[in-house]
Amino acid sequence: MRRRTVITLVLTCLVATAAYAQRVTTDSAPGAPFASYRTFAWTPGTPSPVSLTEQRIHAGVNAQLQARGLMPVDANPDLYVATHVATHTVPQFIATGFGPWWGPGWGGGGVATVQSYTQGTLVVDLYDASTKKMVWRGIATGSVSSRPSRNTRRLDRAITRMFERYPPRTASANN
């Protein structure tokens, strides 16, 4: 009985960790003149349905770009910045026991329940203003909490992790 409880707890933790882990990827255009970009301006994207979240995204991206020497301008930028936010509900199966198929000593049938969580995706796109072509993209995907303070921390971490890879170190910064 004790062995089954320990294994159930371990598997539940592994499933929860995998489901709630934050994933960040970036990509960039080979040959884009990142060293020549000095200014940026915002262009419409797909805003968060929560205006406070959208404000936090803009503030975080602004801070990251400014930390890399780019300055916001109202006209004639080198880069345009657009963000896109999407969320969807993901079902998650939670096993609370094991069936007899696990062999002798593992006990009787188990129960599986379905719980859902919300997964959110933030995309940050940078476009060369002169060519109108995308030169860099950062994507962060992770769970969304019902607590705004937790979402703010996750959002800050995601934006920071994205911009650790800007400007790209090589001509093709696929991560």
Q: Where are the domains of the chain?
A: 23-92+114-163
pLDDT at site 137: 98
pLDDT at site 146: 80
pLDDT at site 98: 57
pLDDT at site 112: 74
Which of 19, 28, 33 has its CA nearest to residue 119? 19
pLDDT at site 11: 35
- Tens-digit pLDDT profile for residues 113-162: 777 666 789 999 999 999 999 999 999 999 888 888 898 999 999 999 99
Q: Topology of domain 23-92+114-163, per CATH?
A: Double Stranded RNA Binding Domain (3.30.160)
- Tens-digit pLDDT profile for residues 38-89: 999 999 999 998 899 999 999 999 999 999 999 999 999 999 999 999 977 7
pLDDT at site 108: 54
Cβ atoms within 10 Å of 101's Cβ, excluding its own: 8
What pTM did the predictor assign? 0.73
CA distances from 153 to 46, 57, 116, 142, 145 (A): 21, 11, 21, 12, 11
